[in-house]
Structure 1
Amino acid sequence: MFRCYLRASTTEQDAERAKTILEEFISDSPAEWYIENHTGTMLNRPILNQLLEDALPNDILLVESVDRLSRLSLDDWETLKSKINDKKLRLVVLDMPTTHQQIAKKGIESEIMYVINNMLIDLMATMARLDQQKRVERIRQGQERAKAQGKRIGGRGINEELHEKVKKRLAANNISVEDIAKLEGCGVATVYRIKKKY
């Protein structure tokens, strides 16, 4: 049984982006799908926890790439690996062809590849964690630079076009706030905020 895990960090991202290529890889084999929008830097993920709870010995945990499974700290990665090993899951990473041999899992060659794959997966998990740390650092530096230049940090910028349209409708004084919101495709609270501002 394939236990296919798909993850994206935020709800704005498409967690099912790689589902088609995983489906092609497993062909008609029996599979359960576990899809969630959750950061890979956290060990405690509801859907991943469900997968580990459902898994049976010798099931295959299939992921597109190691960073979909982990951007964890070293200690948390070791904990997750222990959980995977305790369940006797075979980890197959689509973009690491050497792990594909775990599907058949036969003979001494397979045992040797298991050891090699563990080292490679550890390396990829470390690289995913470092990539995440670099990304966070770049964002922090960008925010500090923007703040030093007097730019607003966080939140949405003002939609000037929407503000102008709402202002004109308010100035006409012949339509309700609720109708303005419907016509302009925004919330009533937004219209009230613009009304208060101007």
Structure 2
Amino acid sequence: MFVRAYLRGSTAEQDAQRARQQLVDFAGQHNVPIASWYVENASGASANRIELRRLLEDAHPGDVILVEAIDRLSRLDRDDWRELRAQLDAKGLRVVALDLPTSHLALSPAAADDFTARVLDAVNGMMLDTLAAVARKDYEDRRRRQRQGIEKAKGEGKYQGRQKDMSKRQRIAALLQSTHADGRGYSIRDVASIIGCSTSTVKTVKRDGP
């Protein structure tokens, strides 16, 4: 059994690595190493995610997909979720999510027992479907509220579109121009870690300026 961790940020402005330490700590508490990481900034409502596809291609029967929460894995609509579930089931993969306690037992030695494994699969399959549906509803509700807010702002002549965080962009630019004590410049990953943003945001500032 390999544990494959999947981290996802919804947009380029979010830090997909935010929950990395939580997953490391969780795996350590269960005495299992994380074999590989798959990190991307993409909408959970999209079925076309490069790193998720790569994970599914790399995984072997019995492997575990470790996520912070089910909504990190999916905010898919019903048909796309069914297709993803079918792929998980076909490859014999188990999903372990920090927000789904019953799934944690998949990391227990007892889960190797055939009867226990079948019971766990049945229970967690039902819970996975439920939480995936909840995640999709939350996504749709937020999108609806966002549209309503935009329409209201437009009606009042207040809508200006999404604004850049100029303070953050200026801090990123300053770090990119700075150096370590030994004269080395800060890498894109260094800057993203210090600022608490995605590497995509740092790359954008590096390319376009603040």
TM-score normalised by the shorter chain: which range applies? 0.7 to 0.9
Partner of 2:8: 7
**How does 1:53-72 map onto structure 2 within 5 Å?**
53-72=57-76
Give structure 2 stretches of 5+ with no counterpart.
Answer: 167-204
1:155-194 paired onto structure 2 within 5 Å: 155-156=162-163
Tell me, yes or no, if the aligned pair for 1:3 and 1:32 is still in contact at 8 Å. yes
SS in structure 2 at match of 1:11: coil
Q: Deviations over 1:77-101 (max 9, x none)?
A: 0001111112211111122110111
Q: State the SS of the aligned residue for 2:15.
A: coil
Q: What letter matches 2:4 in structure 1?
A: R
Distance in 2, Cα, partners of 1:113 & 1:88:
13
3-state SS of the aligned residue for 1:72? coil
Q: SS of the residue aligned with 2:95?
A: strand
User: Partners of 1:66 and 1:15 in 2: how far apart?
Assistant: 15
**Cα distance in 1, alignment partners of residues 86 and 24 from structure 2:** 27
Contact 1:62 1:93 (8 Å CA) reproduced: yes
Partner of 1:164: none
Work out the percentage of aligned pairs sharing the same amino acid. Answer: 43
Instruction: Work out which structure has the larger RCO, using CA pairs closer than 8 Å and 6 or more positions apart in sequence.
Output: 2
- Give the alignment partner of residue 111 of structure 1, picking from 108, 118, 129: 118
Give the TM-score of the pair, scaled to structure 1. 0.75
Equivalent residue number for residue 22 of structure 1: 23
The CA deviation string for residues 148-195 of structure 1, in whole angstroms up to 9 with x for no partner, is 1112341438x9xxxxxxxxxxxxxxxxxxxxxxxxxx9xx99xxxxx
> Is the CA contact 1:143–1:153 (under 8 Å) kept in the aligned structure 2?
no
* Larger Rg belongs to: 1
CA contact (8 A) 2:3 2:64 kept: yes
After superposition, what is the alpha-carbon deviation per residue over 1:103-153, rounded to whole angstroms, capped at 9, x for unaligned?
232242332232111111111000000000000000000011011111234
Q: What residue is the counterpart of 1:148 in the other structure?
A: 155
AA partner of residue 125 (structure 1):
A
Pairwise CA distance, 1:57:
1.2
Task: Provide the rounded CA distance (Å) in 2 between the counterparts of 1:113 and 1:57.
Answer: 16
- Which of 36, 39, 56 is equivalent to 2:40? 36
Range that drifts further, 21-30 or 38-47:
21-30
Instruction: Name which of structure 1's ranges 36-45 and 88-97 shifts more when overlaid on structure 2.
Output: 88-97
- The amino acid across from 2:20 in the alignment is K
1:30 CA displacement: 4.3
Q: Which of 125, 136, 142 is the equivalent residue of 2:143?
A: 136
In the alignment, which of 83, 104, 107 is matched to residue 100 of structure 1? Answer: 104
Runs of 5+ consecutive residues of structure 1 not aligned to the other structure? 160-185, 191-198
Equivalent residue letter for 2:125: N
Q: TM-score, normalised on structure 2? A: 0.71
